[in-house]
Structure 1
């Protein structure tokens, strides 16, 4: 595989809906979307834990993190903004590692929260680029490994 197969990530995210972590009393579109954002934040916390204490679970944690993000994209009908060409992926892989993983996670949170509260699709897209680059560069997860994990599901 020479590219991250985003379409397969989106398909798997649609097929495997996750249970919500919070009790849902309101079933408005905004609340349902908010639950998807919370689910992404939980997946992010699981990824942070895997980075430090469970490297053997890193691929699965990163995959679930991507799926949670893709579920938001599917709900918002922003999935087309996740598509990446080979040049973009190559550019991500040629970037240097961030000096601070905590800063990267906080920037992701800031952008994702902005996409929720301000309905900002560009912040969402920027967060996606950071997420993909983080997996390829900082976590050193190969496209082949990621593709195999996605197809397992």
Structure 2
């Protein structure tokens, strides 16, 4: 996958409006980006639970991916989220998860750890688990994800 291209596409896409706040700041924007990735991840897992079609799952997966990219772009962490072909191949060699509930909770825990403990490496851990979810557990291939992402967000 061409993550540089996907980060660039995400940088130029529109995001959900921010939640109400007394004042808006860069911290508030970051908080809302974390909320967005949490909500889109929850939506994806709700669709998994409800046995949504492969197409609906791919839409939701790409939306969540875009929200991961939004955090990385905002915090200027794209360099730690980039994956080489070897990294992706290593993820592709992993096994299917025994419990998708544990996958969901683990990703959420890492995202929230990134925010509350100010640990960017936690976002990387969440990102790797998320990629594994798509490539192994949901059985999407790299080209399928990349082309669908571009179709959804390239303007």
Q: TM-score range by the shorter chain?
A: over 0.9
Contact 1:20 1:39 in 2 (8 A): no
Aligned: 1:25 with 2:22: yes
- Which stretches in structure 2 are left out of the alignment for 5+ residues? none
Query: What count of residue pairs does the alignment treat as equivalent?
Result: 150
Shift of 1:143: 0.7
Aligned: 1:131 with 2:144: no
RMSD value, Cα: 1.3
Distance 1:141 1:11 in 2: 22
Distance 1:145 1:50 in 2: 19
Contact 1:6 1:83 in 2 (8 A): yes
Deviation string 1:21-80 (CA, Å, 9 cap, x unpaired) is: 522332121111000000111111111122132223011100000000110111111011
The two structures have a TM-score, normalised by structure 2, of 0.91
- Which stretches in structure 1 are left out of the alignment for 5+ residues? none
Contact 2:3 2:82 in 1 (8 A): yes
Shift of 1:150: 1.9
The two structures have a TM-score, normalised by structure 1, of 0.92
